Each structure stands twice: as C-alpha cells, then as structure tokens.
Amino acid sequence: MTDTMTNTTTNTGTGWRFSENASLRERNTFHIEAKARWLLQIDALGALPEALSQPEWRDAPLLPLGGGSNLLFAGDFDGAALAFNARGVRIPEDGDEALVRGEAGLPWHDFVRWSLDAGFCGLENLSLIPGTVGACPIQNIGAYGVEVGERIETVEAFDRVERRFVRIAKKDCGFGYRESIFKHDADRYLIVAVEFRLPRHAPLKLNYAGIDEQLLAMGVATPNARDVSDAIIRIRQRKLPDPALVGNAGSFFKNPIVPQALAFSLQMRDEKTPVFPGDSADTRKLSAAWLIEHAGWKGFREGDAGVSPNHALVLVNHGNASGAQIMQLARRIAASVQEKFGVAIEPEPRVIGATW
C-alpha cells in the first residue's frame, strides 16, 4: 500500500500506476490547490480496464483530467482522478482528405500544429486552446468561427457501463454549442482517442472579427492555414492571460442563447450590443464578454480572485485564490448580468465540489 500522506507513486500493473492523496494543483490551469483520493495515470490505453477494475476505486467517482483547462475545483475530489499519458498520432488513411487519430493525452495545441506541419488544414482556427485531444469533444471546443465537432469523424471511448471500448460516430456524439453526450454522460464514457477527417485543401474561415486585421498587421495578403493559425495565436496571446503565469481556464462563461425578442430589445437599449445567429430561427447568441464588461466587471479583483483586465470572459487566480472564492465571484458576476440585462449566463468549466 502507499502512504496516503506522502503522495507515493506505486507501479501496480503494466501500463498504469496510481498515487494516493494526490495534489491536483499542477493538473488544473487555475492552479487551485485540491487533492484527489487517488490519481490514476494511464500510460497505455489498453491498460485502462485493468486499472479501473481495482477494488479500492472500482465503484468510486471518477474524474478524467485532460489538461485540467476546463475544471474549477471548489473542493477536494473524493474519488479517482484519471490522467491519460498516451500521446500517439497515426494516419490510418491518407489522400486529399486524411483520417488522423490522436490519443487522449496529446496536448491539443501540439496536435493542431502537427496537423499543419503535416500539410492538413481545418483546425487552424482552434490554435492555442488549452487542453488535450481527449478533452476536445466533451465541450465541443470552438473558437473564431469553428467548432471541433465539424472535423471529428469518430470518438473512441471506454464505456464504463458496458465495460468495453466503443467507437462513437460523429452523428451519435450529440455535438452542439459547447455540448456533447460526453459532457452530459460524463460518468459513462472515458475518451481514449479521437479520429479527425482533415483535408489538405479547404476554404479558410476568415470572417470572424479580428482575423483579417491581424493578418494585415502581419503583412499577409494571401494567407494559408498556417498563417491563420499564427494570427490566432497572436490574438489569443494578446487577449488571454497565459495559464502558466496567471491561473485561469480561458473563457469562463458560455455565450448565452436567448429568444430573438430579448436580443432585439437589448439592441434597442444599446445599438452596439453584439448579436449573432442562435441555434434556431427564433433565437440569438449574445456575447457573454460584452455583457460582463458592460456590467462593470472587467479588471475587477478581490484578493487573488479576479477578472482579466484584457478580457472580461476570463476569471483569474492571481496567486492563492481558492476554488470557492473563484466560484463566489462567478456567481456575483452572473447575478449582476441577470439583474442588468435579464440574461442568465452559466460557466463553461466543470465545477468540482460545488453546484452552480
């Protein structure tokens, strides 16, 4: 057995290992201090069933970590946190379009840049998003007019109910705006790899605010996919704090989708209110960042919990804020937006140890 007070790592099987009472501070990009009762590390995907079958944690709550970029720990986790270390990439088929398979532990941005180096396109607008390949389908990550579900062909997962590996086709993943079946059935599916259908040639998506301006500033008149990636990296670095320097989880709130009538009434109050197409003809999407900024929260700080001065959508840990303090601030912001605009906003990250 391991010493629960010393975080001792014990090799217990081929392709996996565990530690007890494990600190998760360096496994979440908020850098919130929290502990997991157990931390399982999977070095070989085939070892997952054996690792999960151990009697100590077989029936315990399970938390896949990914890069920890979509988590807020408002308390410790009394269960088994799971980290995938497998980072392989392979191309089962190639041609003008290729099927590219990335394993769960591969950092997302590394995978995007690898795809560009290999001559593929389609993921360039998703550059510099923190996290891992295994985490990207859960929230159906998106940025600058692109969602990852557009390029996913198949998700490979371990089904904890059926206790076997399964392949889930794109049409069955339930992708929507920051939505998927993996988000709503988080205790069932453990994503181990993702297959992407990537073209070698495709029209670039440049119609999102800021991309054309950044390309122009870079002196690029006829951009390729790598140019778009470089432009978006520069935009994100300018707007968003580096989690290595200031703890954060990127965009903390989802852009709210509201009835068309409410969106139009807000535009009548202020014609500068950003309004975008919703998920149906009678809905519209609003900018959570704009709402938060115009409710007066941009740059706010109380102790070490705050809002980025560069982007109102980013909640930050300036040093030693607790998850409970970040959560309290998020609730105050949401209540303020509700009171001022009549719009409910909700967090993107998964909250551990509290409910929204």
CATH at 254: 3.90.78.10
Q: Has residue 18 got a pLDDT over 60? A: yes
Is 180 part of the annotated catalytic residue set?
no
Tokens of residue 139, six digits: 């929230």
pLDDT range class, residue 4, cuts 50, 70, 90 = very low
DSSP H helices in the chain: 48-52, 108-117, 181-184, 211-217, 225-239, 260-269, 288-294, 323-341
d(CA 167, CA 159): 10
pLDDT range class, residue 5, cuts 50, 70, 90 = very low
Three-state SS at 225: helix
Average pLDDT taken over every residue of the chain: 93
Residue 215's pLDDT is: 97
d(CA 58, CA 68): 22
Q: Is residue 156 part of a domain?
A: yes
Q: Is residue 218 part of a domain?
A: no
Q: Is residue 158 part of a domain?
A: yes
Q: Are 341 and 266 in contact, with CB atoms under 8 Å apart? A: yes
Residue 184's pLDDT is: 87
Q: Are 17 and 48 in contact, with CB atoms under 8 Å apart? A: no
**Same domain assignment for residues 24 and 75:** yes
Backbone angles phi, psi at 81, to 5 degrees: -85, 145
Residue 9's pLDDT is: 54
**Same domain assignment for residues 158 and 66:** no
Q: Give the relative orientation of helices 225-239 and 108-117 as an angle to the nearest 10 degrees.
A: 150
Q: Decide which of 84, 109, 127 is a domain's last residue.
A: 84
Q: Is residue 240 part of a domain?
A: no
**Same domain assignment for residues 116 and 194:** yes
Mean pLDDT of 141-148: 94
Measured CA to CA in angstroms, residue 329 lies from 251, 259, 263, 346 at distances of: 15, 27, 26, 13
Q: Has residue 110 got a pLDDT over 90? A: yes
Q: Is residue 231 part of a domain?
A: no
Give the other-Cβ count within 10 Å of 319's Cβ.
Answer: 11
**Same domain assignment for residues 299 and 283:** yes
Q: Structural domain of residue 189, as residue ranges?
A: 89-199
How confident is the model over 23-68, as pLDDT tens digits? 999 999 999 999 999 999 999 999 999 999 999 999 999 999 988 9
How confident is the model over 64-84, as pLDDT tens digits? 998 898 899 999 999 999 999
**Same domain assignment for residues 320 and 337:** yes
Residue 177's pLDDT is: 87
Residue 248's pLDDT is: 96
**Same domain assignment for residues 24 and 118:** no
Residue 122's CATH number: 3.30.465.10
How confident is the model over 250-277, as pLDDT tens digits? 999 999 999 999 999 999 999 999 999 9
Q: Decide which of 84, 118, 134 is a domain's last residue.
A: 84
How confident is the model over 112-131, as pLDDT tens digits? 999 999 999 999 999 999 99
Q: Decide which of 199, 225, 260 is a domain's last residue.
A: 199
Residue 50's CATH number: 3.30.43.10
Catalytic hit among 151, 178, 236, 284? 178
**Same domain assignment for residues 126 and 153:** yes
- Give percent of the chain above pLDDT 70: 96
Q: Are 126 and 114 in contact, with CB atoms under 8 Å apart? A: no
**Same domain assignment for residues 268 and 330:** yes
d(CA 314, CA 308): 6
Q: Do you know the residue count of the chain?
A: 356
Q: Is residue 212 part of a domain?
A: no
Backbone angles phi, psi at 45, to 5 degrees: -60, -35
Q: Has residue 171 got a pLDDT over 50? A: yes
More confident residue, 66 or 216: 216
How confident is the model over 321-345, as pLDDT tens digits? 999 999 999 999 999 999 999 999 9
**Same domain assignment for residues 258 and 162:** no
Structure letter (DSSP) for residue 279 = S
**Same domain assignment for residues 75 and 134:** no
d(CA 267, CA 260): 11
Q: Has residue 8 got a pLDDT over 60? A: no
Number of domains the chain contains: 3
Q: Is residue 305 part of a domain?
A: yes
Q: How many CA atoms lie within 13 A of 222 on its CB side?
A: 0
More confident residue, 220 or 14: 220
Q: Has residue 311 got a pLDDT over 80? A: yes
Q: Is residue 295 part of a domain?
A: yes
Is 346 part of the annotated catalytic residue set?
no
**Same domain assignment for residues 153 and 60:** no
Q: Using the structure block, give the residue that is written with the tokens 């993921």.
A: 123
**Residue 287 pairs with which residues in a beta bridge?**
none
d(CA 254, CA 56): 37
Catalytic hit among 115, 180, 251, 322? 251
Is 179 part of the annotated catalytic residue set?
no
Tokens of residue 305, six digits: 């919990």
Closest CA to 63 of 190, 249, 253: 190
Residue 11's pLDDT is: 54
Q: Has residue 287 got a pLDDT over 90? A: yes
Residue 7's pLDDT is: 52
Residue 13's pLDDT is: 66
Residue 305's pLDDT is: 98
- Give percent of the chain above pLDDT 90: 88
d(CA 346, CA 336): 12
Q: Using the structure block, give the residue that is written with the tokens 């062909």.
A: 153
Single pTM value for the model:
0.86
Q: Has residue 1 got a pLDDT over 90? A: no
DSSP track, 18-64 = EEEEEE-GGGSTT----EEEEEEEESSGGGHHHHHT-TTTTTS-EEE
